[in-house]
Amino acid sequence: MEACIIACGRSSRLYPFTLDRPKALVPLGEQTVLAHQLSILRGWGVEKITVLHRDDHDPALVTRTLGPEDRRTVRIATAPPHWPGVYAWLCAQYTAARTPVVTLNCDLVLDPAWGGILADHASSGAALTLAATDGPGPEEGQYGRPRLLTLTGAGILTATRPPGSGPPQGAGETPLHEIGVSVVSPAAWPQLDGLPHHAEDPWADEFVPALIRSGHPVHVAVRTAPWRDVGTWYRLWLAHRDLAHARPGQQHLHPGAHIADSARIEGWAWIGPGARIGDHAVVKNSAVLAGAELAGDNSLIDGLALPGAHLAHGAHHHGTVHLSGAAPHPMPQAPHT
């Protein structure tokens, strides 16, 4: 089995942090999102992995983050940073594929149970399996509502439309999140290769209808949480809260962090190596990554401070934030917890 991680978008929802890196290299805990993806893919028997890289980023950005094992199995390629160009590249690359190909977005953190989708695909006999979750949850409004893929009760694609637009859904139709993971069997690629690749969303608007018209079955694997989208500041913050901890309420203080004796760490917290927390600063329900600094007498609540972030002396921030620029001050090293 092969996989292609699509990491060639503009990543504008995480600007300015992604101006010099793809979302796949955004830190999540002490690893990158890409490292999490590679680990899960290897665990489910994916033998060949391609990272489809942005054409105006240095491919060495990705290569430098790979371990020895990944460097032997991961290939770096480039494609135009727009969806029709990406899917044209996928079709040109994999039309002659002899095994199923997994495609996934670079801002998805896969759940270990995601491998069940591969088993679903194998047992279904489908040319294409689209992995989706149940319709939007209560937190979706925090980062914008996704497009919906609407299927009839018989599993046939009928339309794609934003939530709340168009006529009410008919009986038996199932609203699903925008597709972020798919498994394509060799039989599907020749059908996809002849398409014009000009739609806003080629996968849903062109490829799936073409497969259905040509008689190829399309399967939808619905999981409660097959992945975690970390493409926005809010979702990245949630991922640190939920995935960088072994249990709710846990505090992770890396021994390489620098935390003043008078600082207060409350609620859940993830303080990464090299993070600096000043005198009388308060961190509550927040993640402070390596290289981020909170100066004295300030607070970060329900927030996310990424590498290079600087919260100035006396400042207070609530909500998910990205703060840029300033040199850290010497502070005592945090105890190991």
pTM: 0.82
- Residue 40 is encoded by which pair of tokens? 């899960």
pLDDT band at 140 (very low <50, low <70, confident <90, very high): very low
Which pLDDT score, from 0 to 100, does residue 120 have?
84
Nearest to 174 by CA among 200, 201, 204, 148: 148
Residue range 2-231 in CATH 3.90.550.10: yes
In the CATH hierarchy, which fold is given to the domain comprising 245-318?
Answer: UDP N-Acetylglucosamine Acyltransferase; domain 1 (2.160.10)
CB atoms < 10 A from the CB of 183, how many? 26
Q: For residue range 238-264, list pLDDT tens digits in order.
A: 888 877 765 666 888 999 999 999 999
The residues spanned by each domain of the chain are: 2-231, 245-318
User: Which carries the bigger pLDDT value, residue 157 or residue 199?
Assistant: 199
Give CA–CA dist 133/169, Å, rounded.
17
Which pLDDT score, from 0 to 100, does residue 336 have?
37
Q: For residue range 194-242, list pLDDT tens digits in order.
A: 777 777 777 777 888 788 888 888 888 776 566 778 888 888 888 888 7
Tokens 């607070």 locate to: 299
Kindly tell me if the per-residue pLDDT of 4 is higher than 70. yes
Give CA–CA dist 173/145, Å, rounded.
19
302: three-class secondary structure by DSSP: coil
Element (H, E) at 294: strand 293-294
Which pLDDT score, from 0 to 100, does residue 335 have?
44
Instruction: Give the list of residues 6+ apart from residue 1 with CB closer than 8 angstroms, or none.
Output: 45, 46, 47, 48, 99, 100, 101, 102, 118
Instruction: Give the list of residues 6+ apart from residue 131 with CB closer than 8 angstroms, or none.
Output: 114, 117, 179, 180, 181, 182, 183, 220, 221, 223, 226, 227
8-state DSSP, 73: H
Q: For residue range 60-106, list pLDDT tens digits in order.
A: 888 888 888 788 889 999 877 677 788 888 888 898 888 999 998 88
Q: For residue range 17-53, list pLDDT tens digits in order.
A: 777 778 888 888 888 899 989 988 888 888 899 998 8
Are the CB atoms for 243 and 261 separated by under 8 Å?
A: no
| Sign of the CA dihedral running 241, 243, 245, 247 | positive
DSSP-assigned states of every residue in 281-335: -EEEEEEE-TT-EE-TT-EEES-EE-TT-EE-TT-EEESS-----------PBPP
Which pLDDT score, from 0 to 100, does residue 192 have?
80
**Same CATH fold, 245-318 and 2-231?**
no
Cis peptide before 16, with omega less than 30 degrees from 0? yes
